[in-house]
């Protein structure tokens, strides 16, 4: 009787990895921060992170934008995500007390809107998953709550 080789063993022996067989593991806090920075183009600074039920928690986080881009401060930033073979497959972002601060001297935003942005705070929650066919992360759900 002839035995057929196991597909997973064969793929591993040949150095091939099929995403369907990749083990999904939680991302560490450093990886989550790097992913947010890469996706947003903002530099993130915050006091040391804590863990809260599988979430990476950054209280008092500040996202600094490049020239012309507003700065963003967050009272509480929570991040959670998963990866498979080092490739992100899911990300959840929960921002509480989000405040956007336009840079001084920014002329492409009306002065009235700049004043409103300085007074407005928001809570924002986003969930994204990886679309393997297109090799990108896609928004699965989102919620924005504005103050006042």
> pLDDT of 6-43, one tens digit each?
433 433 333 334 445 578 999 999 999 998 998 888 99
How many H helices and E strands in the chain?
3, 8
What is the C-alpha to C-alpha distance for residues 12 and 5, in angstroms, rounded to an integer? 12
What is the C-alpha to C-alpha distance for residues 41 and 63, in angstroms, rounded to an integer? 9
pLDDT digits (tens, 9 = 90+) for 63-104: 998 777 888 999 999 999 999 988 889 999 999 999 988 776
Beta carbons of 25 and 84 less than 8 angstroms apart: yes
Radius of gyration of the chain (CA): 20
Positive or negative, the Cα torsion across 141, 114, 47, 32?
A: positive
Tell me, what's the pLDDT at 106?
63
Give φ, ψ of 73 to 5 degrees: -115, 150
């Amino acid at each position: 009787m002839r035995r057929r080789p196991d597909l997973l063993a064969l793929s591993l022996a040949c150095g091939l990895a099929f995403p369907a067989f990749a083990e999904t593991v939680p991302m560490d806090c450093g990886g989550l921060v790097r992913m947010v920075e890469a996706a947003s183009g903002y530099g993130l600074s915050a006091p040391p992170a804590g863990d809260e039920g599988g979430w990476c928690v950054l209280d008092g986080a500040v996202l600094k934008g490049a020239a012309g881009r507003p700065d963003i401060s967050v009272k509480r930033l929570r991040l959670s995500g998963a990866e498979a073979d080092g490739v992100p497959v899911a990300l959840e972002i929960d921002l509480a007390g989000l405040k956007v601060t336009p840079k001084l001297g920014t002329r492409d935003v009306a002065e009235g809107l700049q004043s409103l942005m300085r007074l407005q705070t928001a809570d924002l929650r986003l969930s994204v998953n990886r679309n393997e066919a297109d090799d990108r992360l896609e928004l699965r759900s989102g919620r924005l709550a504005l103050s006042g």
